[in-house]
Structure 1
Amino acid sequence: MQINESLILQCLNELNKNYISKKIYKDYYEGNHNILKNYTMQDSRSNMKLVFNYPRKFIDNEVGYLLGKPVNYISKSDDENILNSIDFNISHWDKEHNINLRKQSEIFGESYELNYINEEGEFSATILNPINCFVLEDGTTERNVVLAVHKFSKQFDDKEYLDVYTDLEILHYQIGTVEENKTNNNSTKLNYIGSHNHIFERVPITVCPANSEKKSGFQDIISLFDAYNALNSDLVNEIADHRNAYLVVENAKLEEEDLGNMKKMGIIQVPNGAKVYWLTKDINDSFVKNELDNIERKIYDLMDEVNFNENWASNTSSLALRNKLLNLENRVSMREAIMEKVIRQRLKNLFIFLSKKEGKIYDYRDVAVKFTRNLPTDLTGLADVIVKLQGVCSRETLLALLPFVENPKLELNKYRNEQKNIDLSE
């Protein structure tokens, strides 16, 4: 595909469209829900707006469940050098990076990992999303990235800039406008700043989708969030000021100024035979509670989450806990497959970097990526399983079962060194 300014402008136009359509998911994650803008206000009444930020809660829980424990790497060919190279080059930043990458995917439906070489000559990565980046794919089954544009601004600078990533170089532009005399409209103009080459021989951006449809993790249930917020807000305001209550005055007449004094002083005087009372609308507490509980259950069900605020037995085993988390486990397993593919592409770029910097040749297909669920673990039962599997599986494989062992190969080497020292001391 020929990269020219016309194609770049088309990509920039798509990026601007995505910003409009995707920003709502960023707002909901940050707690800026629809009720804050569209709640029906009533004069002289309480108008509190309650926001229950379920999107943040669910996304953080799901990402923590999948990536709360570091990703482990295992060499299929038992090559210790390849694991040492991975550990040395990315272990100091990849845990936080993986969490944020997955979080951005769940919010927007997809996110992008940009690999680059930092000023100190180290292999690094940063995260982009659909409101600041557009990625053009080739349309094949492999969905190779052929072009990516990243729109950004600098602090204390009112100008906007655009970086364009191709398979060989990075083009730098400043975004400007040009006035069209015939239509009196402004169109986007790109002012070329410069370019520089990169080493990856492909566009150094990897797409990380939230799911196969690239939909936000909570897109389908935004209406339930809105209903839950509105119902709770109405209920609180009803209690706060009798939202559906009216003051009834019988056999007396109050002037408008009397009403103001009554509110200010909290006192009302009426002649003999007059009556003052509230005409209220009865609230069916059971109906309201049942409706709130029903909406909350639907929210948890559709997000495949478990409500840990329910009463659970204190001695619930890890197996029973996993059974309750079965739906979430199925959901996360699909995310795990996506993350594994993204991490493999990162390793592929890392090994390109190492081959050019140090002359080391590694095959990313030799590396197995292992995820460990962030769950309470029955270490006693797990230790019993490991003992029973002695002689059936390798020690490195058995060590990989332990959630607190981040690098089984390194742990095995430590164990062997300790045994040597013990034998020498004896």
Structure 2
Amino acid sequence: MNIGLLKKCYDDFKLNKGKYDKMYQYYVGDSDVIRKYSAMEYQESHKMNFNYLKKFLKEEVAYSVGTPLSYVSKTNDNNIVQEIEYYMYHWDKNHDAQLMKNMLLYGTVYELYYIGKDGQFNSKVITPRNGYVYSDDFGNILYFMHIYNLKFDNNTYIDIYTENQILHFNSDFKEIKKADTHIFGQVPVSIGILSEELEKDTLFNDIIDIQNGFSIISSDGVNEITNTRAAILKGKGFQLDAEQIEKLKKYRFANLPNSKDADLNWLLKNLNAEYQKLMLETLEDKMYQLSFHINNQERMQSNTSSLALRSRLINLEQKTKLNNKALMNVIVSRIKFLFMYLKILKNKDYNYRSIAIKFNSVIPSDDLMMSQIISQLGDKISLRTALSQLSFIENSDAEIKQLKSEQEELLQGQSLLDGVVNG
């Protein structure tokens, strides 16, 4: 164990943690704009925070994993699929949504595998805010560091995962308890990487400056309106003494001198409302363009068929497919580690390469058109492939099994009826 190398990894983790913390702050609504207006003590300040980052991320997560993933055996072995579903049934149903959300937010996410106290195969989502991977030049993970704090405890703890051990240190890299072992024979973690540009190729990096501008203009506009009661009175043709000013504040009334030159009005800013509206519309439009999302509040044409909706979502659909491919790398590794667990638990040899993973996107699809295509193809396409193209079928293998079962029941029923008639 190279403690010097681990300390360098920890220093690199601390060096980069700030940028990931800022991404999280924006996701939860604690933006620089909010902090700016909160610091304004000289007048009442209203903060308008428009969190498009969270909106877009939630949409992409919903499109990709809003419907559970499906597993399909490439060798038509339904037992493998049943094993996967059975041994991960106890997982949090939002696990994949959390995994996808963090990968999209930070550009990188980690999934750590472990055996729980009850002996079950488990997983934990870890972000770059509390995790760090050290790999070789070929991408092989040599160490994984999980950095965390305990409730009501100000100390920082570091668990280091190697190919066969879990080491426990404090932030000074002093061992605080005896090392544990694990069963996997390699570092039990997989990495989800959105793209090779990492955090530079994220929604946060693309839209956050525009979102700040949108929130600033909105906040300034609201504050200008709500703070008009603090506007300055301008008097002409007369002069008020201190006592008269106090009465004016109290009674909201002023007796002006009997003079045609006497005048009292507010000193206000002349705001160009149309310019402000144009800027807000422009900034919002740019956020939608850069994120490949569509504004559902825009007036649509009369054609609202699924095909028309899909054509509007074509760019977002392509982006979602790329997101799915990035997450699929994690899912494949997950199945690989699960099969390691099943080998030890049940002495069964399953090949993770024999499993296909299907993302059941919730982007509108034209099932009528797809069914017509399937019908025209006839026996040139397998039933399993055909069923997997339809959006309302989550698991084509389960559907085929149910279909066969119903057909067998119908045959048995028909046989009994034939026996009664012939008897």
Q: Which residue of 1 is the match for residue 233 of structure 2?
A: 247
Q: Which residue of 2 is the match for residue 212 of structure 1?
A: 196
1:256 positional shift: 4.5
The one-letter amino acid paired with 1:156 is F
Q: Which residue of 2 is the match for residue 226 of structure 1?
A: 212
1:314 positional shift: 5.7
Instruction: Say whether residues 1:119 and 2:117 are aligned partners.
Output: yes
1:255 positional shift: 3.6
The one-letter amino acid paired with 1:23 is D
Check 1:40–1:150 CA distance in 2 against 1; reply closer, same or farther (3 A cut): closer
Q: Which residue of 1 is the match for residue 178 of structure 2?
A: 194
Q: Which residue of 1 is the match for residue 419 of structure 2?
A: none
Q: Which residue of 2 is the match for residue 284 of structure 1?
A: 272
Q: Which residue of 2 is the match for residue 25 of structure 1?
A: 23
1:258 positional shift: 4.1
Query: What are the Cα deviations for residues 95-148 of structure 1, in whole angstroms up to 9, with x where unaligned?
Result: 5211101101122221100011111111111100111111111122xx121101
Q: Which residue of 2 is the match for residue 185 of structure 1?
A: none
1:244 positional shift: 10
Instruction: Say whether residues 1:370 and 2:386 are aligned partners.
Output: no
**How many residues get paired?**
410
Check whether the contact 1:68–1:374 (CA below 8 A) recurs between aligned residues.
Answer: yes
The one-letter amino acid paired with 1:217 is L
1:27 positional shift: 0.4
Instruction: Say whether residues 1:174 and 2:170 are aligned partners.
Output: yes
Cα distance in 2 for partners of 1:41, 1:248 equals 29
Structure 2 matches for 1:96-135, cutoff 5 A?
96-135=94-133
Cα distance in 2 for partners of 1:385, 1:89 equals 37
Cα distance in 1 for partners of 2:329, 2:41 equals 55
Cα distance in 1 for partners of 2:243, 2:205 equals 51
For the residue of structure 1 that corresponds to 2:119, the secondary structure is coil
The one-letter amino acid paired with 2:60 is E
1:405 positional shift: 2.2
For the residue of structure 2 that corresponds to 1:242, the secondary structure is helix
Cα distance in 2 for partners of 1:41, 1:168 equals 50
Q: Which residue of 2 is the match for residue 331 of structure 1?
A: 319
Cα distance in 1 for partners of 2:153, 2:358 equals 44
Between 260-269 and 271-280, report the one with greater CA deviation: 260-269
The one-letter amino acid paired with 2:53 is P
- Structure 1: 5+ residue stretches without partners: 176-187
Instruction: Say whether residues 1:164 and 2:160 are aligned partners.
Output: yes
For the residue of structure 2 that corresponds to 1:146, the secondary structure is strand
Instruction: Say whether residues 1:147 and 2:135 are aligned partners.
Output: no
Check 1:384–1:260 CA distance in 2 against 1; reply closer, same or farther (3 A cut): farther
Cα distance in 1 for partners of 2:103, 2:250 equals 53
The one-letter amino acid paired with 2:161 is Y
Q: Say which of 303, 308, 313 aligns to 2:291.
A: 303
For the residue of structure 1 that corresponds to 2:412, the secondary structure is helix
The one-letter amino acid paired with 2:343 is S
- Structure 2: 5+ residue stretches without partners: 415-423
1:83 positional shift: 1.1
Check whether the contact 1:237–1:243 (CA below 8 A) recurs between aligned residues.
Answer: no
Cα distance in 2 for partners of 1:114, 1:256 equals 71
1:245 positional shift: 5.4
Check 1:84–1:78 CA distance in 2 against 1; reply closer, same or farther (3 A cut): same
The one-letter amino acid paired with 2:210 is L
Cα distance in 1 for partners of 2:302, 2:162 equals 56
- Computed over aligned residues only, the root mean square deviation of the Cα atoms, in angstroms, reads 2.1
1:277 positional shift: 1.0
For the residue of structure 1 that corresponds to 2:168, the secondary structure is strand
1:41 positional shift: 7.0
1:257 positional shift: 5.2
> If each structure's helix is expressed as a fraction of its own residues, which one has the higher value?
2
Q: Which residue of 2 is the match for residue 408 of structure 1?
A: 396
Q: Which residue of 2 is the match for residue 266 of structure 1?
A: 252
Between 416-425 and 51-60, report the one with greater CA deviation: 416-425
Check whether the contact 1:173–1:194 (CA below 8 A) recurs between aligned residues.
Answer: no
For the residue of structure 1 that corresponds to 2:76, the secondary structure is coil
1:90 positional shift: 1.9
Cα distance in 1 for partners of 2:244, 2:45 equals 25
Query: What are the Cα deviations for residues 382-419 of structure 1, in whole angstroms up to 9, with x where unaligned?
Result: 43334334322221222212223222111211111111
TM-score (normalised: structure 1): 0.90
Query: What are the Cα deviations for residues 136-185 of structure 1, in whole angstroms up to 9, with x where unaligned?
Result: 11122xx121101111122233332211000111111233xxxxxxxxxx
The one-letter amino acid paired with 1:105 is M
Check whether the contact 1:73–1:369 (CA below 8 A) recurs between aligned residues.
Answer: yes
1:65 positional shift: 0.9
Check whether the contact 2:110–2:191 (CA below 8 A) recurs between aligned residues.
Answer: yes
